[in-house]
Chain A
Amino acid sequence: MTTIHARPHESDRKQPPPELSGRVRHRRRSRRHLVPYYFLAPSLVVIGFFVLWPMVRSLFLSFTDSSIIGDFDFIGIENYVRLFSDPAFGNALVNTLIYVAFATPISVALALVLAVLLNRALPARTFFRAVIFFPFVISFSIIAIAWAFMLDPQVGIINYWLNSIGVRTGNGIGDPQWAMVYVIAVGIWRNVGFFMVMFLAGLQTVPRELYEASSIDGATPFQQFRSVTWPLISNTTMFVVVIASIFSFQAFDHIYVMTNGGPFFKTETLVMLIYRAGFENFQMGYASAMSWVLVLIVLSLSLIQTWYFNRKAVTY
C-alpha cells in the first residue's frame, strides 16, 4: 500500500510584502498567540483572588495561632504536631475514611449501573435521567433539611413507614449506630445523578460497531460489558472515581444540617471539625493546619488513583 504524503508548498503560504516581512509576521503571530490568554484573564483573576490567595493565606496561618481577630504569633509546626495527638482529629479522620470507603464505591457503582440502564432506548429515558440528576442541582443544605425531617424518629415519615412494616430504624439520625448510615445514604443520593451523567457521556463514545461485532461473535450482555464497555470507558471511570473520592472527603453540608457532627461526634468528618475549630472555637491557625493536611491526603489519594487507572488505560 502506497501512502501519499502531501507537503505544504512554500508557495501556498501567503507572502507578506517584502518591506514589512520580519516585523509584521512576528507581531501577527504573537498577537494571535496571546488572544486566548486575554479571554482567560477574567477567570484567572477571579480564581487568583478567591482560590489561590486564600490557599496561600491559610498555609501561612497554619503556622500561626491566629484566632480571627487580634494579634497572632508565628508558632512554627506546632499546629501540625498537635493534630497528630488530638483525639478529635483522629475521630474525624476515622469517620471521614469510613464515609469515603462506603460512599465512593457505592455511588460510582450505582451511577454506572444507572447509566448503562438508561443508555438504551427506553420510553421515559429522558425523564428518568432528569429525575436522577435533579438532586445534584438543588442546594444541598436545603435538601438535607428535608431529609432531616423525613428521617426524624418522632415525626419523620420514612421512620414511620419503615417501623409500621417492622423494619427497625433505630433512633433515626440521632442514633449513634445509625447516624453515619443515614448521612452516607443522603450523600450518595445527592451525587449519583452527577456521576451517572458523566458515565452516560463516556458510554456515548463507545462505537456501536463493537457491540454489533461482539454480539455476532455470540457475546452475552455481561460479556459485552466486561470486554467492550468497561475497558473503553476507563478514562471516564478514572475521572468519576477521583471526583467521587474528593466529594466524599469534603462531606460537610448535609452533615452540618442533619446531625451537626453528632450524636457526640459520631458523624464528625474532617471538614466538620475544621469548621468547628475555625469558626466556633476561633482557632483559625489550627483549622488551617488541618485543612492543609486534608489537602495532602486528598492529593495523595488522587495521584494514586490516577496512576492506577493510567496503568490500566486502554487505547485503541
Chain B
Amino acid sequence: MKLSSKSLGLAAITLLALPMALSACSSSGSDSGGPTTITFWNGFTASDRPVVEEIVDNFNSSQKDYTIDMTVQPWDVFYQKLLPAYSAGEGPTLAGFNALYFPGYSSKGVLEPTDDFLAGWKDSGSLREDAVQATMYDGKNYGVPMSAASSMLYYNKALLAEAGITEPPATLDELADAAVKLTKYDEGNPSNSVYGLAIPDHAAISTWTAFMQANGGGVVNDDGTKSLFDSPESIDTITKWTDLVKNDHISPVNLGGVEGDNLFTAGKAAMYINGPWASTGFTEAGIDFGLATVPEGTVKQTATLDSNNFGISAEATDEEKAGAEAFITFWNSTDQQLVWALGTGNAPTRTDITADQLAENPNSVAFSKAQSAQLSLPALVDFQQIDSEVLTPTIQRVLNGEGTAEDLMTEGSKQITSLMQ
C-alpha cells in the first residue's frame, strides 16, 4: 500500500479517537514500595478546611509509612459521589462524614466495622461517648469520631442588653418569652425586622427536633425502631413553637441553614441555635456573641449532636486499613485535637482535655462544656428520606398554615413508620 498523505491522515484521525474513548476509563495507579497512599474524602470546605489540611500535613510529615491523599468537596457533591464510588470500587479508603449517614452506608456493606480497632486502642475510652455510639448499626460500630459537637445557643449580647435581658434563657419557656421580647417585626418590609430566635426549617440541624426531644418527644426513638412524631409531647412542642413563629414572628418562615447564619451575622437575629462551625464566621463579622447551653425542656436539657465520623472502606487492603487507623489515632491524639479545637472553635473529641488547655479559643471552651446532646434522627437507614419527605415538609406545612400540627404530624408519623420497614 502506498503511504499517501491521505491514508496517513486517516490513520491519524482514527488514532485520535482512541485516547478520547480510553480517557473515559480510569486506571487507578498503585505504587509498590514507598509510602502507602491512603485516599481520604471529606466535606470540610469552609473555615475548618485549613485546620484539617494542617493536621493531614502534620501526619504526612510525622512518619514515612503512609501518605494521606485528601479530597475535599462540598457536602452535597460528596454524598452524591460516595456511594457510586464505593459501588464502582473507587471509594476512598477513609471517609469523614456525618454520623446520620452511617446506618445507611453500613447496611449496604461498604464500611468496615471498627469494634476491634476501638477495643484495641487505649485512647478510645477518652473519646466522647455519644460520638462513639453515633455510628452503631445492628450491634456493630462502623465509625470513629472525627468532629463531634453539640449545638448551642448563640446570642447577640448587644440586642439582649438593649431589651433588658441580663442572662441567656435557661429553660424553653424562658427562651420563648425572651424571643418574643426581642422580636421587632416590620409587617410592611420584613427585611427591616429583627427576629428573636432564628429557627431554620431546612438544610440545617433540626432545632425543632431538639425541642421535641427536650420535652420528651422526638421524631423517632433512640434505636430508630418507633416513630415518636405523633406523640402528644412532640405535637404540643411543635404547636407551641410554630404558633410563636406564625403569630409572634420570632423567626422568619422557610429559613435555610445558610440564611439563618446570614441573619445572625447581619445582626437581624438576636438568638440562634447552631454548631461550632459557625463561630468563626460570626467572630469575623464582628458580632459580639455569647454561647449558652440549649435551654432545658420539661423533661431534660438536650441539644443536637452533630457528629462527623471516620469510616473505613470495606474494600481496603490490610495495609490501607492500618494506614487509615494510624491516621485516626493521630487525629484523635491530644496534640492534634488541640490544633483542631483551637483552630476551629470546635470541641475536641477527647473528654480528657481541660478548659485551661483550650483557653486560647473561648468558643471551644464553651462547646467542650456542652456535653448533653443526641442525634436528631438516630439509627435510621433511610434517614434522608424521612428527613426530606416527612420531617422538613411537615414542619414547613405547619408553618405555612397548611394544616394543624396534630393532623400533619399524625399523618407524618404513619409515613415514618412505613419508611422504617
B83 at the interface (CB under 8 A from A): yes
Q: Are A38 and B14 touching (Cβ within 8 A)? A: yes
Is A138 an interface residue, CB under 8 A from the partner?
A: no
Are A38 and B191 in contact (CB-based, < 8 A)?
no
- A69 near B393 with CB under 8 A, answer no
| Beta-carbon contact of B388 and A154 below 8 Å | no
Flag the segment in A43-51, A180-188, A200-208, A223-231 that touches B: A43-51
Partner of A164, one of B84, B189, B202, B397: B189
- Flag whether A113 is at the interface (Cβ < 8 A): no
Whether the pair B189, A160 counts as a contact (CB closer than 8 A) is yes
Q: Are B268 and A154 in contact (CB under 8 A)?
A: yes
User: Does A153 make an interface contact (CB < 8 A)?
Assistant: yes
Flag B3-33 by CB within 8 Å of A: 1 or 0 each.
0001000100110110011001000000000
Name B268's closest neighbour in chain A (CB-CB). Answer: A154
| Interface-centre pick from B86, B193, B385 (highest chain A CB count, 10 A) | B385
Indicate if the CB atoms of A263 and B400 lie closer than 8 Å: yes
Which residue, A69, A164, A280, has most C-beta atoms of chain B within 10 A? A69
Closest CB-CB distance, B111 to chain A, in whole Å? 12
User: Is B232 close to A, CB under 8 A?
Assistant: no
A46–B20 touching, CB < 8 Å: yes
A265 CA / B80 CA spacing, docked (Å):
20
CA distance A191 to B111 in the complex (A): 44
Residues of chain A with a CB closer than 8 A to B191's CB = 153-156, 159-160, 163
Kindly state whether residue B259 has any CB partner on chain A within 8 Å: yes
> Which listed segment binds B: A99-107, A122-130, A170-178, A234-242?
A170-178
Instruction: List A256-289 residues whose CB lies under 8 Å from chain B.
Output: 260, 262-265, 276, 279-282
Taking a contact as CB atoms under 8 Å apart, the answer to whether B259 and A155 are in contact is yes
Most A CB within 10 A of own CB, among B83, B188, B189, B254: B254
Q: In the complex, which residues 287-338 of chain B have their Cβ closer than 8 Å to any Cβ of chain A? A: none
Closest-CB distance, A268 to chain B (whole angstroms)? 10
* Candidate in B16, B193, B259 with the most chain A CB atoms within 10 angstroms: B259
In Å, the complex CA distance between A156 and B200 comes to 17
Known contacts A38-B13, A163-B188, A171-B253; A155 and B266 CB within 8 A of each other: yes
A260 to B204, CA, bound (A): 13
**Which residues of chain B are near A263, meaning CB under 8 Å?**
254, 393, 396, 400
- Closest Cβ of chain A to B81, distance in Å, is 10
Q: Is the CB of A155 within 8 A of B254?
A: no
Could you tell me if B17 and A42 are in contact, using CB atoms closer than 8 angstroms? yes
Residues of A close to B255: CB separation below 8 A: 154, 174
- The reply to whether B259 and A152 contact each other, CB–CB distance below 8 Å, is yes
Report whether A41 and B17 are in contact in the complex, using a CB–CB cutoff of 8 Å.
Answer: yes
Bound complex: CA of A47 vs CA of B257, how far in Å? 40
Residues of A within 8 A of B110 (CB): 69
A313 proximal to B (CB < 8 A): no
Central interface residue in B21, B104, B191, B384, by most chain A CB within 10 Å: B191
Q: Taking the complex as formed, is B158 at the interface, i.e. its CB lies under 8 A from any CB of chain A?
A: no
- How far is it, in angstroms, between the C-alpha of A68 and the C-alpha of B80 when the chains are bound? 11
Q: Shortest beta-carbon distance, B212 to chain A, in Å?
A: 19
Could you say which of A38, A42, A276 contacts B20, with CB atoms under 8 Å apart? A42
A35 CB-CB contact with B under 8 Å? yes
Taking CB as reference atom, which chain B residue is nearest A160? B191
Interface string of B257-297 (1 = CB under 8 A from A): 00100110010100000000000000000000000000000
- Whether, in the assembled complex, B240 has its beta carbon less than 8 Å from a beta carbon of chain A, the answer is no
B50 at the A/B interface (Cβ < 8 Å)? no
Q: Does A39 contact B (CB under 8 A)?
A: yes
User: What B residues does A35 contact at CB under 8 A?
Assistant: 10
Complexed CA–CA distance, A123 and B90 (Å): 57
Residues of B with C-beta under 8 A to A49: 21, 24
A262 touches B202 (CB 8 A): yes
A50-B385 contact in complex given A41-B13, A163-B191, C-beta closer than 8 Å = no
Contact residues of A between 1 and 59, Cβ < 8 Å to B: 31, 35, 38-39, 41-42, 45-46, 49-50
Known A264-B393, A276-B388; judge A39-B266 contact (CB<8 A). Answer: no
Q: Which residues of B contact A176 (CB under 8 A)?
A: 400, 402
In contact, A163 and B262 (Cβ under 8 angstroms): no
What B residues does A218 contact at CB under 8 A? none
Say whether, besides A46-B21, A154-B190, A264 and B84 are in contact (CB < 8 Å).
no
Interface pair B86/A69, CB less than 8 Å apart: yes
The 3 tightest CB contacts between A and B, nearest first, are A174-B254, A264-B393, A69-B87
Report 5 cross-chain contacts, Cβ distance below 8 Å, ordered by A residue: A154-B190, A154-B191, A155-B263, A171-B253, A264-B402
B residues sitting closer than 8 Å to A (CB atoms) are: 6, 10, 13-14, 16-17, 20-21, 24, 80, 83-84, 86-87, 104, 108-110, 188-191, 193, 202-203, 252-255, 259, 262-263, 266, 268, 382, 384-385, 388, 392-393, 396-397, 400, 402
Residue positions of A touching B, CB distance < 8 A: 31, 35, 38-39, 41-42, 45-46, 49-50, 68-70, 152-156, 159-160, 163-164, 171-172, 174-176, 260, 262-265, 276, 279-282
Known contacts A41-B13, A164-B189; 18 additional CB pairs below 8 A are A42-B20, A46-B24, A154-B193, A154-B262, A155-B191, A155-B268, A160-B189, A174-B252, A176-B400, A176-B402, A262-B202, A262-B392, A263-B396, A264-B393, A264-B396, A265-B393, A279-B80, A282-B104
